Structure 1
Amino acid sequence: MATFRTVRNKAAEVCPLDVLGLELRGFLVHSMLCDESEPRTDVSDRTDLAVTHMCPPIVSGRFRCDVVSHLPITERERRKIQRFVDRFRKEMEANAKQQEMLPSEPRYLIHPERLQPRADNPLWSFSCVGFVVSAYRNGGITILANQRPLKTLADLKLLYPDRAADLDDPLKRAEFLPEGGESWPVALVGYLFNAFHRDDAEVRSIPFQAQVGDEYFPSRRQMTNDK
C-alpha cells in the first residue's frame, strides 16, 4: 500500500521526498514534499516533519501530516527530484526582495497547476499539487493524466471553503484561475494521493486518470457513481 494515514498511537516510516497531505473537515487540502535528510520511523499524526511546499511562495518549514504517499525511487530519480526542489527553493530565496516589490502578495494558483514567469510575477507559479507533480516529472515519473473532471465555480467554492469569498471576487478569482472560463480540470490534492495508492509499477507506467470521487482519500468514486 503506497498511501497511508498517520495515526496517534502507531509510528510509521516516512522517507525523503515522500508526498505528505493535510486534511481539513475530511477533505485533503494541501500537499507537500518531505524534506527530511534521512527516513523517519517515528512518525505519527502529531510529528512535525521538514517539508518543502508551495504555500505560496515555495517555502521550507515543518508540518505534521495526515496522509503519506511513498513510491520507492532510484538514486538517479531521487537526485533529479531533489534538483528540482532545490532549484525553485533557491530561486525563491534569491528573488525574495524582488517579490517584496510586487504590488500584491503571491496568490494561490488553483488552475493551471503551473505558470511560467510573466510581467506581474518574475517567478514560476505552481499550485501545491503542481509543485509535487512537476518535481516527480523532473525525475521521469508522470503521476497525473491531463484529463480530469471539470469543476465549476460552485464546485470550487465547496472544495476550497476558506477561499470561497475570494472566488466570488472577479479580480481575485482571475488570480486563482488566470485562464478564465466557466469550468476547469483542476488537479486536486486527493487525486495525487489516490494516484500513489496503486501498485508501484502502475504508478510508474500509467498516469492516474482521475474521476469524480477521487478528490477524497480513500476515493469515493464508486459511492459517487452509484448515485
Structure 2
Amino acid sequence: MLRSFWRTVDRFSLQHFKHIINELRGIKVVDKFNREAVVDILQSIVEIVSYGDKHDPSIFECFMELQVLAEFVRLLKISRNPRIQAAVLQYLSIMIQNLQSEQAIYYCFSNGYINSIITHEYEFHAGDLALYYVSFLRTVSGKLSKDTVCLLVKTQEDAVTSFPLYTEAIRFAHHGEKMIQTAIRSLTLSIYNVSDDMVYRFLMTPPTSEYFSDLFLKLREECVHLDTTICSLRYVFSDTKC
C-alpha cells in the first residue's frame, strides 16, 4: 500500500528513490515470502537510475553516495535463489545498457562491484541463469573503453594478473546453447577492440591464451564435419564415393 502511494505521487523523485533504497537495505533474508517484493524493488531502482542518468543528476549522485551497487552484491550473497540472482543480473544489465553518462559508467565499474558480481558463485544448473549471466557480461563488455578497462583488471608491476570479465566469459565459449556461444564471441571481440597492450599480453599468456587453441580445435572439428557432410552428399547425388 505504501509503495503504491509513493508511485502515485512521483515514482521518479529523489525522495522516492531514497525510500526504495531504504527498503532494499532493510532486506536481511530472501525467501518465498518476499522474493517478489525484492524483484519489484530491483526493478524500481533500475528504472529510477536510468531516468536520473538522463534527467536528474541528483538521483545518480544519491546512487553513488549510498553505494547501491554494494547492496546488489549483498543481495546476491544473502540469497541462493536463482530467481533473485537472475533478477539482479537482468536489471543490472538493463541499467548499465541504458547509462549514457561517462561518469555513471566509470562509477559502476569502480570499487570492484562488477567483478564481485562476475565472480559470485552462481547455480547455473537452475533454469536460464546462465543466459542472464552471459547477457550481463556482454552488456559490461559493450561499455568497455581504454579508460574503463583498467577498472576491471588487477595489475602487478605493469602486468595484468586478473581479468574476470574475460576469464569467466570464455568458460561458456563452448556452451550447448548457441545463443550463449554467440554472446561470448561478441564479448571477446569487444574486449579485443579496446586495444590495450597490457590486456593483450594477458590474453596471450597461458592459461588464458588456451582459449585460442580451443577455438582453433573447435574450428578444425567443424571443418572436418563440413567436409564429411559434403562427401556424403556428393555420394548420394552422384553415386560416387568421395
More helix by share: 2
Q: Which has the higher contact order (CA 8 A, sep 6+)?
A: 1
TM-score higher than 0.5: no
Task: Select the structure of larger CA radius of gyration.
Answer: 2
TM-score, L = length of structure 1:
0.24
TM-score, L = length of structure 2:
0.23
